[in-house]
Amino acid sequence: MEQVPFLNLGRQYQQIREDVKREWDDVLAKTAFAGGPFVTRFEEAFAHYCQAKYAAGVNTGTSALHLAMLALGIGPGDEVIVPGNTFVATAWGVSYCGATPVFVDCDEYYNLDPRAAEAAITPKTRAIAGVHLYGQPCRLDELKEIASRHQIHLIEDAAQAHGALFKDQRVGSIGDISAFSFYPGKNLGAYGEGGGITTNRKEWIDHIYRLRNHGSEERYYHDEVGYNMRMDGLQATVLEIKLRHLDNWNDGRREVAKTYLEGIDNSLITLPKVLPDTVPVWHLFVVTTPHRDRLMKHLQSRGVQSALHYPVPCHLQKAYASLGYSKGDLPKSEALASTCVSLPMFAELTLEERSRVVDAVNSYKG
């Protein structure tokens, strides 16, 4: 029996193969490899798409978070509020600046709970990092109101949510500054590594352009200690090609999600909920069930691949043991980590594959 893949990037490639070959040939002929005009072109298109004034392309989403936080002036002695339930790179950005991540619990939508975030604010807090996990926008209006009342920054980690809408506005244009990942499996993914930053503040984006380029505006003159975090021309080109298809592909993911939401009917399975007034982009479709290993085994026996996002919440990662968190500190994030299962999710899943997923989940008996 053919497996229903968790993700198949090859099917998407077939749709853009000729464009990629032709446009990559242009990059190669012009030898515009590191930074350069193809990156600028993508930055303009991406800023426009996100309804933000400015965008910067960088080498990874992790660098995007790091540089965004540096541009806000976050440094040693500062605290940044981060959800316990996220990919750990949200916290890496804070740690790389020498600041301390303060982990808080999630809400019923699996995203940062604004009340928990506000309760964690101390005189050292400089920012809240709201993550749009699984492609679902977090509660940006409440987080923005809290941030502005406490005169701290709101950072959006939109690594999993390219194109998602919060009250008719694109994520990446609502917080003070936003970070995106273009890791290959993301909704907008490169053919290598990539990341991006969007903001409406010119001084921050100019600082990021310098920081990513060895702290330099003029070649061999370095105004500050910088990094080599430039995006490369080949990645910028494939991202620009893919950006033209992103809304269609996100529509395809929403169709898959609709099939699952309408078709899955099993009292052992809890389906994800969508925050009102948002349009998610379903980077992942995460269900929960008490004995998730049994569900994963059952799915495997029916030829359906599944995955975990994420089995260990950030506050319980070994890397952060020195911060002194223990089991029970973030009960909702911990419960999610032990009950979550991600079902196959990408726009090119066939109708037959989608119904095989639904049938497999519905025939699970615990």
Ligand X SMILES: Cc1ncc(COP(=O)(O)O)c(C=O)c1O
- Which residues contact ligand X (rule: CB under 6 A)? 60-62, 86-87, 89-90, 131, 157, 159-160, 181, 183, 195
**Two tokens at 290?**
């008490």
Smallest gap, in angstroms, from Cβ of residue 187 to ligand X? 11
SS3 content of the chain, % helix, strand, coil (to 5): 40, 20, 40
Q: Which residues of 93-131 are buried (b: 16+ CB within 10 A; e: fewer)?
A: bbbbbebbbbbbbbbebbbbbbebbbebbeeebbbbbbb
Rounded Cα–Cα distance for residues 147 and 153 (Å): 6
Q: Which is nearer to ligand X, 90 or 125 (CB)?
A: 90
Residue nearest to ligand X (CB): 61
Residue with tokens 């060895």: 214
Q: Which is nearer to ligand X, 157 or 353 (CB)?
A: 157
Q: Which residues, including other chains, have CB under 8 Å from residue 215's CB and lie 6 or more apart?
A: 222, 223, 224, 225, 226, 227
Q: Which is nearer to ligand X, 144 or 186 (CB)?
A: 186
Tell me the β-bridge partners of 117.
none
- Is residue 323 classed exposed, middle or buried when 0-12, 13-18 and 19+ CB atoms within 10 A define those classes? middle
Tell me the β-bridge partners of 125.
79
Smallest gap, in angstroms, from Cβ of residue 291 to ligand X? 26
Q: Which is nearer to ligand X, 243 or 268 (CB)?
A: 243
Q: Which is nearer to ligand X, 186 or 354 (CB)?
A: 186
Q: Which is nearer to ligand X, 12 or 62 (CB)?
A: 62
Smallest gap, in angstroms, from Cβ of residue 194 to ligand X? 7
Smallest gap, in angstroms, from Cβ of residue 160 to ligand X? 5
Rounded Cα–Cα distance for residues 196 and 216 (Å): 19
Smallest gap, in angstroms, from Cβ of residue 59 to ligand X? 8
Smallest gap, in angstroms, from Cβ of residue 47 to ligand X? 19
